[in-house]
Amino acid sequence: MNYETLTSEIKDDIAYITLNRPDRLNSFDMKLGEELYKALNEISNKKEIKAVVLKGTGKGFCGGGDVKEMYASKDKSKFLRELTRGIHKCVIEMRNMEKPVIAAVNGHAFGAGLSLAIACDIIIAVKEAKFGTAFIGIGLAPGCGTQFFTKLVGYQKACEYILTSKTFTAEEALNLGIINHLVDSDDLDTIVEEFVIKFKRLAPIAVGKAKMLINKSMENDMVSHLELESITASFAAGTEDFNEGVTAFVEKRKPIFKGK
């Protein structure tokens, strides 16, 4: 499918989505929200895809909501309601899909752009990248990201960074536990591909179910989550991949998983 605001391609069972509005720092407008959701939904339904890489074109990852569109809108309340809902659909799709999503943060990530990044499962950022929740700086209450951000950094730090609209470096993001790896810009694609290679070799059903369990662990009580783990492990034990995994272990060789 051809898109106006992004590119989406599949290479060797890995999906690569690149936000492509470099003149606006890949900021969210209604079109980008619609197209990103369509791309994610299409990928989510393809069992053969083992992982997703999300990146931005040009100097930034995503600059947040398109402020010029906000300014031009006649009914700003209605516009923000529709825009945030569009962003939310993308975040929900990313978290619900049973595939790992890697954010390759090639530049600045502000507002909804930061929210999009922290909705991913693994974040690799270049040293030059800068981050910020941004909303308060333009007199706007946050339309997304406060839950993920608070769970990542804790209540007091969340208040400091969100309420003061604080901009912070990639190194600070690493220290806060927001990103997984900090890399030189020339090494970004290489490090991303190292993760891609891992996910190509691992059992995709088991990886997807593990991601689901991690997400559910943040909302379930202990007893119900233990039961969910038992049910999920039992389901995975019925797959061909599990049979291959235990057979390879006994035979002292590397398993070859097929996602079945």
State yes or no: pLDDT of 27 exceeds 90: yes
First-to-final CA distance of the chain: 27
What are the backbone angles phi and psi of residue 106, rounded to the nearest 5°?
Answer: -90, -5
Residue percentage of the chain with pLDDT more than 70: 100
Q: Where exactly does CATH 1.10.12 map onto the chain? A: 203-250
Would you state the CATH architecture of domain 6-200? Alpha-Beta Complex (3.90)
CATH topology for the 203-250 domain: Lyase 2-enoyl-coa Hydratase; Chain  A, domain 2 (1.10.12)
Say how far apart CA 202 and CA 210 lie, in whole Å.
12
Q: How many CB atoms lie within 10 A of CB 175?
A: 13
pLDDT, position 1: 75
In three-state secondary structure terms, 236 is helix
Q: Which two tokens stand for residue 34?
A: 């619609």
Please state at what angle helix 30-44 crosses helix 76-96, rounded to 10 degrees.
20
Q: Which two tokens stand for residue 199?
A: 């996910």
In three-state secondary structure terms, 134 is coil
Q: Where exactly does CATH 3.90.226.10 map onto the chain? A: 6-200
What confidence tens digit (pLDDT) does each residue in 196-210 have? 999 999 999 999 999
Q: Which two tokens stand for residue 1?
A: 């499918």
* pTM assigned to the model: 0.94
Say how far apart CA 36 and CA 248 lie, in whole Å.
39
Contact (CB, 8 A) for 144 and 118: no
